[in-house]
Amino acid sequence: MPSLNDLYCTPSDIYDLYGTEGGQLRVDDHNLATGQTVVVRATANAAATSIPVMGLRYPLLAGEVLEFDGGGMPAVVEVVLSATAKVGDTSLTVNPLSASVFAAAQAFGSGVNLALAQRLLKGCQYGTAKVQDYCLSRYNDSDLMANARLNGSVNRWATAIGARWVGRRRGQSAPEGVEAEAEEALSDLKEVRTGMMSVGGIATRTSGWPFLSNVTVDPRFDYAKLRVEQPLSELTPTQYGQYIDWNSVCWLEW
């Protein structure tokens, strides 16, 4: 099984695509969810993009919504995580705050559903494999990975296909928006495979046009007399070995 570093998308990508629907994925947790109380260490002012907190006991996925109150706050403040927080982290990276979050304020995080986490990872593996099925005939895996790391089309395709797999894995259809994203991704991938569409920012294994070779007849050879005039031919390296007329080579050496 490929590791997370080898995948074109991450579990948080799939979770983010589901948006509010992602919260419904926790319904079937069978008591496997790891809830925790998140406590603020120091006041975070309005418009801030980070909140100092006590060390986390469990990870929190990007896109998770926390509702902070207490600590003398006049009203509940809804906070959305913009990046995944790992175990032991003492700061949350969030979308700009709509209001200040006071020290000692608390929020309850639903935590990570362990069964869901495994499904999200498998969805990433499935999405990556499907993109590779369509693209590896024309592109190198390292180049596809580079595009995915920049949140390019490769990341979007793998995320959409993986997200649909996660929805169907639960025995029901994925949300309509996810289904549409996956269908669009597969349509794009079919065009990539046939050469009607290219992956932006990366080069193909070989040139995107026919290889043309100019040849001459060389009577010095007794076998393959047709010889390629390399200075006048296509010089782009190919992904297959060139034919070598070993019979003529051996004949000349003899």
Residue 207 lies in a domain: no
Residue 4 C-alpha from the chain's centroid: 10
Q: Identify any residues that bridge with 60 across adjacent strands, giving them in sequence order.
A: 85
User: Could you list the residue range(s) of the whole structural domain that residue 223 is in?
Assistant: 215-253
Residue 21 lies in a domain: no
Residue 203 lies in a domain: no
Residue 249 lies in a domain: yes
Residue 16 C-alpha from the chain's centroid: 12
Task: Provide the residue-wise pLDDT of the chain in tens; the chain has 254 residues.
Answer: 566 788 999 988 888 887 644 544 444 444 455 678 899 999 999 999 999 999 988 888 788 889 999 999 999 999 999 998 888 999 999 999 999 999 999 998 866 666 777 888 899 999 999 999 999 989 999 999 999 999 999 999 999 999 999 888 867 778 888 999 999 999 999 999 988 899 988 888 776 666 666 777 777 766 667 777 766 666 665 555 556 666 665 654 44
Helix (H, G, I), strand (E, B) or coil at 47: coil
The answer to whether residues 91 and 123 belong to one domain is no
Residue 149 lies in a domain: yes
User: What pLDDT, on a 0 to 100 scale, did the predictor assign at position 94?
Assistant: 95
Residue 51 lies in a domain: yes
Distances (CA, A) of 220 to 81, 114, 228, 253: 74, 72, 14, 13
Best CA proximity match to 137, nearest among 196, 206, 185: 206
Indicate left, alpha or beta for 11 from its phi (over 0: left) and psi (-120 to 50: alpha): alpha
The answer to whether residues 143 and 157 belong to one domain is yes
Q: Does pTM top 0.85 for this prediction?
A: no
User: What pLDDT, on a 0 to 100 scale, did the predictor assign at position 254?
Assistant: 45
The answer to whether residues 127 and 106 belong to one domain is no
Of 112, 146, 167, the position where a domain reaches its end is 112
DSSP secondary structure letter of residue 174: P
Whether the Cβ atoms of residue 174 and residue 189 lie closer than 8 Å to each other: no
Q: Identify any residues that bridge with 94 across adjacent strands, giving them in sequence order.
A: 81
Quick one: tokens of 254? 């003899």
Domain count, the chain: 3
Whether the Cβ atoms of residue 124 and residue 162 lie closer than 8 Å to each other: yes
Residue carrying the six token digits 């948006």: 19
